Structure 1
Amino acid sequence: MTSRRLTVADDLRRHITSGRLGPGERLPSESALSDRYQVSTATLRSALAVLQAEGLVEKIHGKGNFVRRPLRRITYVGGWGILDPRTAADVDLRVTVRTAAIRARGHLTALLRVEDGSPLTEFLRVSHDGEVPHSLARVYVPRDLTPPTTPTDPPREAWVETGICLPSTPPAEVHETVTARLPTPDEASALRINTALAVLAVTRVAADIAGRVVEAALLVFPGDRVDAVFSTHHVIDESQVSR
C-alpha cells in the first residue's frame, strides 16, 4: 500500500511537472496543505522532503516552500582551472565574500604544511545564480601571501567570478581530492539544499616550485548540478615522432 506521504508527494509532483505550479511559485502553507490532504504536519513535511530531495521544491527559511527554478549546471575544471568560463561570465552570477584573519589549527596545519598557530587569511565565498546559492568555497592563504587588494574591488587578473582567488603566477603543483558525500548542516544551510542531497567536495592544495603551499581551497558543489572535468596532457617527444 502506498504511504500517505508518497501519495501527497505524487500529487504535488504532478502539479509541478504539469505546470499548474510554476517555477518560483510559492506553495500553500504547510497547514493549508495538511488540511487539503488530510494528513498530519509531520506527514506533509515528509512528503515535501521527498520533493526537496528530487530538486523540485526548496524551502526558504522564514518564507515557505517554493517550486525550484531550473538550475544551471556547474562545470568544475580540474587542475589550476576555474568553473566553466561560460558560467563565470554570466552577468547574473554574483559572489558574496567574507574574509577573516585566523590561525592554523587542526587539519589546516596539515593542508598548508605550516606550524600550529601560523597566521592565515580565510576567504569564505558563496556564489549565487540569481538568488540561488551556486557553490561554496573556503580558501586559506598564508598571511604573507594574501593579495593586498580588498575582495570588494578585485583586480581581474587575480580574481575570477567564481570567487576563487588565483595568484598571478600559476603554482608548480596542484593536488586535488574529490569526494562525494552528504553536506554538513552548515553547508546545507549555505547552499539551501536538503541534507539528503549529496555534494561534490573538492580539496585543492596548490604549492610553488619550492614546495610551499600557496593556497588550500575547500570547494563544495551541490551534487545535482555539477560536472567535474579532469584532463591529462602528455608531453610528446618530437624526436621520437620524426623517426
Structure 2
Amino acid sequence: MTPSGPSSNVTPSRRIAEDLRAAIKAGHLAPGEKLPSERTLAERYGAARNTAREAIRLLAEEGLVTARHGSGVFVRESQRLLRFGSDRYARAHRETGLTPFRLEAKRQGMEARIEVAAITRERPPQDIAERLAVPTDEASVLHRENHYFADDEPVQVVSTYLRWDEAQDTPLTQPRTGKDGIYGRLEELGHIMTRVRDEITARMPTPAEAAVLDLPSGVPVIEVLHTSLDQDGEPFEVSRYVHRADRTGLLYELPVE
C-alpha cells in the first residue's frame, strides 16, 4: 500500500482513510489483518499521529475496522447474517419445538442462547401505549426484556410488552412460560395471532444497546416494532426488536392484493 497523490479537496485524514479503505476493499488488507500503527501511518504520509488516528476513526465509523484494546486495530471479519423471514410466527414452526430465533439459528448452523434480562411491571413508552391502547400514567404493561446470542455473539435485544391486566398471575410473568412460549399462553387467554404489523426503521444505537450488543463504533441497529393482532383484529402484544445491522437481515414475502 502506497500513499495516493495529494488532493486539495481531501483532508489528510480522509486521504489516509481512502487509501486504507481501498486496500480493504481490494483485499490487500484481509479480514482479521492488523492495520499499520498510527506512528507508521503518520510517517508514511508525512502527517501527525492525530491525523492518522482520525483516519482510523473514520474507518471504524464505517464498520470496516475494529480496535482491540492493547492489540491494535484490525480489519473486521465478515459476519454471518441471520435472516428473519415473514413466516417466523407461522404455527407450523411451533411443531419443531423451537422459538423463531432458535429455529433460524439452527437453520444456519449456529448455537442459539437467550437470556431473560428483566421482567417488570411498568409504565409503557408512548408508542407501546398507543398500540396496546393502555394508559401511560400507570404501570399498565408487563415488560419482558430478552437478550439473544448466536454462537455466543449478541445479535438482538427484544422488549416484549403485554397488558398487565391480562398477564398478571400467569406464567407470562415468569422466565419460563411453558410449551409454545408466550404465544401459547396468550392463546390460552383468547388471543390467536392472525395478522402482524412490523414497522421497520434504522438508527444509531443508544449507549445501553451498544453495550449489550457489543457494537463496534459506527454500526447502526435495525429496529422492528412488531404488533400481534388476534382473530378480532385486536392488538394484544407489542415487541421492540433491536438488531445488530451488521448481523441481521429481514426477508419478507407478501401476497400482492
1:217, distance to aligned residue in structure 2 (A): 0.6
The structure 1 residue matched to 2:135, chosen from 115, 122, 136, is: 115
3-state DSSP class of the match of 1:209? coil
Cα shift at 1:218: 0.8
Question: How far apart, CA to CA, are the structure 1 residues paired with 2:69 and 2:161?
Answer: 30
The one of 175, 182, 187 aligned to 2:204? 182
Unaligned runs of 5+ in 1: 159-164, 236-243
Amino acid at match of 1:48: I
For structure 2, list consecutive stretches of 5 or more residues without a partner in the other structure: 1-6, 90-99
Q: Which residue of 1 aligns with 2:171?
A: 147
Secondary structure, in 3 states, of the residue corresponding to 2:171? Answer: coil
CA distance in structure 1 between the aligned counterparts of 2:256 and 2:30, rounded to whole angstroms: 51
1:46-86 CA deviation, whole Å, 9 max, x = no partner?
32233334433234679864443321112122366345934
Does 2:120 match 1:101?
yes
The one of 52, 55, 64 equivalent to 1:56 is 64
Question: TM-score, normalised on structure 2?
Answer: 0.66
Q: Report the equivalent of 1:85.
A: 103
Distance 1:173 1:118, change over 3 A: farther
**For residues 124 and 70 of structure 2, what CA distance do their matches in structure 1 show?**
35
Question: Identity rate of aligned residues, in percent?
Answer: 22
What are the residue-to-residue correspondences of 1:1-243 with 2, within 5 Å?
1=7, 2-9=10-17, 10-11=19-20, 14=23, 18=27, 23=32, 33-38=37-42, 40=48, 42-59=50-67, 65-78=73-86, 81=89, 82=100, 85-88=103-106, 90-107=109-126, 108-116=128-136, 117-143=138-164, 144-145=166-167, 147-148=171-172, 150-151=174-175, 153=176, 155=178, 157-158=180-181, 165-167=182-184, 169=187, 170-194=192-216, 196-233=218-255
Corresponding residue SS for 2:249? strand
Amino acid at match of 2:180: E
One-letter amino acid of the counterpart of residue 40, structure 2: R
SS of aligned partner of 1:71: coil
Which structure dedicates a bigger proportion of its chain to helix? 2
| Alignment partners' CA distance in 2, 1:156 and 1:63 | 46
Q: Partner of 2:129: helix, strand, or coil?
A: helix
TM-score (norm 1): 0.70
Letter in 2 for 1:105: P
Q: Give the conservation status (yes or no) of the 8 Å contact 1:181–1:198.
A: yes
Rounded to whole Å, the distance in 2 between the matches of 1:79 and 1:58 is: 35
The separation in 1 between residues aligned to 2:76 and 2:179, in whole angstroms, is 33
Of stretches 61-70 and 169-178 in structure 1, the one that deviates more from structure 2 is: 61-70
Aligned partners of 1:102 and 1:121 also within 8 Å? yes
Contact 1:199 1:223 in 2 (8 A): yes
